[in-house]
Structure 1
Amino acid sequence: METMMRWVAGAGVGFWRACAVTAVTMLVPALWAAAVVLAVLWVEDPWTWIPLFVVAGVGTLGLSRPVCRWVRALVTRWTGTVVPPGYREPPPVTQLSTGFWWNGYTYAKTAKQAREEQEWRHKLRDPATWRDLRFVEIVALTAGVASMIPLVGIALAALGFATSSYVAGGAGLLVGIGSSPYGWRLLEPVAVRFLRPPAVTSLTERVSELTAQRADTTIAQAAEIRRIERDLHDGAQARLVALGLSLATAEKLMDTDPRQAKALLQEARTGAATSLTELRELVRGINPPVLNERGLADAVRAFALDSPLEITVDAEPLTLDPPIESAVYFAIVELVTNAIRHASATSASISIVRSAGALGIVVEDNGRGGAAVRPGGGLEGLQRRLAAFDGTITTTSPAGGPTRVTMTVPCESS
């Protein structure tokens, strides 16, 4: 009995899924069917059919991408299979010194005009657009037809019972109920086979992604070198120069004014200690010694002890590749610093867990929230730096807090 109830429940779910597949996959055929009906019934001159079919063609082009998006969503929701979209990203719209906007194809007077013209030009030149057009035809003839079987069966059953044709009604009911659990299942293999982007497209996107990551890494390295040079020039170098001058002056005054020479030597000693402290801070900012000596977990705990926030750290000892270890450490430091500067947080928690070949980091604070990834912002820079290791970052920060940032970095540890 329990098995029968589960099968009936599955048939009910399958029927509604078949209805959803039919509604999505038959949109384009319904559009063309409506155009043909209008042409046959209400248009006498065959030449006036052309505008109807032009409208149907434009409608097909406009519906193809939404239909494919809905198919991907249904497949992911029902089966867990993710079909990547594979659409090319349009080039950025930039303003020139002349005041005009360049969208990668033509010039425009305003950014809005540039984006509008870029949208349709880019869509027509994107191979994925023509893949979508092909897919809406294929899916209608395969998964669409299959999903209509339960609907047709139920419709025949209703018609048969309404006209007292009980044999036809019973047969239709049997077909409708029997095919309901399976009528929608053809959608997944069809989508995987015909909607997934080709390997060449995936490789091209990966090459573009790696090129962008390399450029970001080069820019970040150059900025870091400039920062180190600036800190050395304005801090330790200036103090060392002053130290040399003080020692030279003290050497000259050693015989004539020993008291003044002693005072200069004391100032030189103070300056040397200050320079040493600055150099240690600079080295700690480049690569903290505790990170090399004791690993990521202890380095984060040491940072938490020095932080003005009340921070709880949940982390196990891990041995990671030095580049990943350094990137994760400074990402945590930046997130906590942002919580202090911008969110007025008083406490935070840091969790570092490794599972299934990936390192998961969660940083949460009790600040006022409202953090978001903005162009040129700190979170966007953090996202780019983690992308160099195929890492991802997810931010949840409602107004009023709390802010929760989750980072995932693929890695192997020993």
Structure 2
Amino acid sequence: MEGDRIEAPIYSPSYSSPEAIRKGLQAWQAALAQFDKAAHILEASGHPLKRGLIEFLRRPKRELIVNFPVQMDDGSIRMFTGYRVHHNAVRGPTKGGIRYHPDVTLEEVRALAMWMTWKCALVNIPYGGAKGGVAVDPNALSPRELERLTRRYATEISLLMHPGGDVPAPDVGTNPQIMAWIMDTYSMHTGFTQPAVVTGKPLEVGGTMGRVEATGRGVMMVVAEALKVNRIPIEQATLAIQGFGNVGSYAALTAHQMGAKVVAVSDVHGGVYHPKGLNIPQLVEHVRRHRTVVGFPEGEPISNAELLTLKVDVLIPAALENQITAENAPSIQARILAEGANGPTTPEADEILIEKGVFIVPDILCNAGGVIASYFEWVQDLQSFFWTEEEINSRMERILKRAFYEVLAKEEELRPYGLKRGDYRTAAQALAIWRVAQATLIRGIYP
């Protein structure tokens, strides 16, 4: 109507943030560099990949960008941008989390989707890799706004979702309730309940025992094996954990239960340090009340940067990508680097740490407990038959241990062909890439 004023839509602040785009590009370039290095080692070892196959494995299968409106509690309408990327679907339905974070970009999601492909192949579960996300700060939304955003985003990407095609899960900034909203939205569209379309749900709507704890618990299952290999008794081990969200907090709790000393933890606001070990159950209660580790009375303040360079047996980066770089890698003093986060170490930092003799447990192995438990949830939903938490943990530990020692064996096998001693990341990627490549060739190129 003439005279009415139409306000421009308010876009999510990070939609065009140069810093967010830079970080996303850095993650994608790191993923490609890791792939190229593994492909080169495979060729040197007498297992070359055809050029066309290399290009196929380097590129995502499909990418979806959605721009959608959400009505806020005050009646205004705000625009958001979301993504869903399928990297590879040769070995099964695509699998990968949904991230709510202000710095989400297409490039970051693309990298995370590629890493998911290798992660699923490495632990040998029948999935391909995917990832999704919305550029938003979920803490800045009310519960009703968060639900409206989630249901609209789920509707926008529902053309790609399917229990046999693409199965999302939680990631940074999302949780079981958000997964329940996604499942319900998809089910309303299809006309009947479909619990297997998403994992990481509450138990009441088809979730599995042990899923919430799985990634952090799995990190410590792998760390326990790394400590054995390095002849460090777990009761004498010291740990520092960057990030105290779902992964970091449950890794800390599991480490505490195993008898290890967690001497430092941090979150986005800062950290806390105690050389004799933190009381993790009390720290978890402090975080529940205050939503940060900062201010925990039984410890000294420490920054995230200081935590990464502590002299500890095990350093667990469990936050975001690109935390350990060429700048701070020379100062890393940990004997074991266990990657609870995806892509926390840049390729340049990798080279420095390998030369220093740091035992790196790569992300696609170290944090695979989450996708393994998601696989168990999916299987249980499909057959409507559920397992106990003891069965879940036992099966997950068996898979992680097998993958851990397969990576060690692959590293030893590839050393004569130019792989540096201790380069477990490239060994893990070579093993995973070869499995996906073989599956591709066996299936054939259609048509």
TM-score surpassing 0.5? Answer: no
Whose helix proportion is higher, 1 or 2?
Answer: 1
What's the TM-score bracket when you normalise by the shorter of the two chains?
A: under 0.3
Whose strand proportion is higher, 1 or 2?
Answer: 2
The structure with higher relative contact order (CA 8 Å, sep 6+) is 2
TM-score by length of 2: 0.20
TM-score by length of 1: 0.22
Please say which structure displays the higher CA radius of gyration: 1
